[in-house]
Amino acid sequence: MSKKYSVGLLGFGMIGKVHAFGYATLPYYMDPLPGDFRITHVATAHQGTAEAAKTLCRAEIATTDYRRITENPDIDIVHICTPNDFHCEPLLSAIHNKKHIYCEKPLCTTRTEAEAIRKAIEATGYAATNQMTFHLRFFPAIQRMKQLIDEGRLGRILQFRVGYFHASNASPDLPYKWKHAPPGGVVRDLASHLLDLVDFLIGPLDSLSAKTQIAYPSRPITAPTPDNPDPPRKEVTVEDAVYIFAKVRDGACGVLEATKLATGAEDELRLEIHGEKGAVRFQLLEPHFVEFFDATASDKPLGGNSGWLRIPAGGRYESPQTAFPSPKSSLGWIRAHCACLGNFLQAVAEGKPTQPDLRQGIKVQGLMEEVFRSANLQ
């Protein structure tokens, strides 16, 4: 019989629904499932939304008090899916109560909060399984890219470019949202993923300098209409874009760019890594493929075997993840989220640590703070 685990979700906005979708679909994406995982409790800011989430998840309890989850002895796993500034206190509570933790990025909002979380981990001897939701690591194409780098197929890394491009803030008529004030902004929302990916693929960042950009100093509180062409406005105090020049510990240099000003972009992650012996590149809108260039291949005669190899990583996950519905079928953003969750649950069932863990979240938090520090010095 599979061991039963009770799961509590904190937050049920878009990303909370993504986490719940993972539990609903994992029986198709993992074979065998490592346990019997049930969402039993959901907490949101308002009782009405909590009740709606309870119904959708077929949970037992809807609440507005996160402590009914983090301090509940019947709960095994806690998901942190709340807005950024509501991560720290529930995290500390879950750590003190020895819960397995699955936490959305960013870990928290400040260096002070990250240090409090680090101290709590050390002071309590916290050893339960914990993982950050840096789901971009869990595309098969990214994992194949990591294999090629670790196998030495690129040789010494020389340079890298990584960018995350959205268009959501490009219009001056976009109404003011919570992400236009602290703790919003693209550094926490998008660049956190890029900082984690660079660290994961090619090693620790040794130094960085950054510049941030706010395109419009204020935004309307509602969208302009013919009847109300000039609604009241609120000041924008966080960045729409960030540009980072960075160097990793082994000497490679690169550029990281995260922006919501890329007019015409959808959800576009572009990643290139160049080495002495080869190169790799990936685009999120074509997640089926990772491209590899073997610089050791001869270009004679007539081009020889030189050129970019397009590897169809597709949905070719390793067991116990499955290639459902087919390794040849295209896959998307939410599939990587499911794989990320599956990685966490497998570790929970085996009683093992996994990556990227809360300490990686603390590390990325420190890098984001360096970005803010550098940008403010410009």
CA distance 350 to 153: 32
Predicted confidence at residue 378, as pLDDT, reads 53
Q: In what order do the strands lie in the sheet with 4-10?
A: 61-63, 36-43, 4-10, 77-80, 100-103, 130-132
Of 175, 192, 243, nearest to 213 by C-alpha is 243
What is the torsional sign of CA 354, 359, 365, 371?
Answer: negative
Tell the residue number behind the tokens 């002070």, with chain if given: 112
Predicted confidence at residue 294, as pLDDT, reads 97
List the structure tokens of 57: 């998840």
Express each pLDDT in 151-191 by its tens digit: 999 999 999 999 999 999 999 999 999 889 889 999 999 99
Q: Compute the C-alpha angle 277/160/15, nearest 5°.
A: 125
Q: Count how many residues are written for the chain.
A: 378
Predicted confidence at residue 178, as pLDDT, reads 86
Q: With helix as H, strand as E and coil as C, how does 239-251 read?
A: CCEEEEEEEECCC
Transcribe 123-188 into DSSP letters.
Answer: HHT--S-EEE--GGGGSHHHHHHHHHHHTTTT-SEEEEEEEEE--TT-STTPPP-GGGSTT-SHII
Helices (H) and strands (E) in the chain, counts: 10, 16
pLDDT < 50 positions in the chain: none
Element (H, E) at 290: strand 290-294
Predicted confidence at residue 2, as pLDDT, reads 81
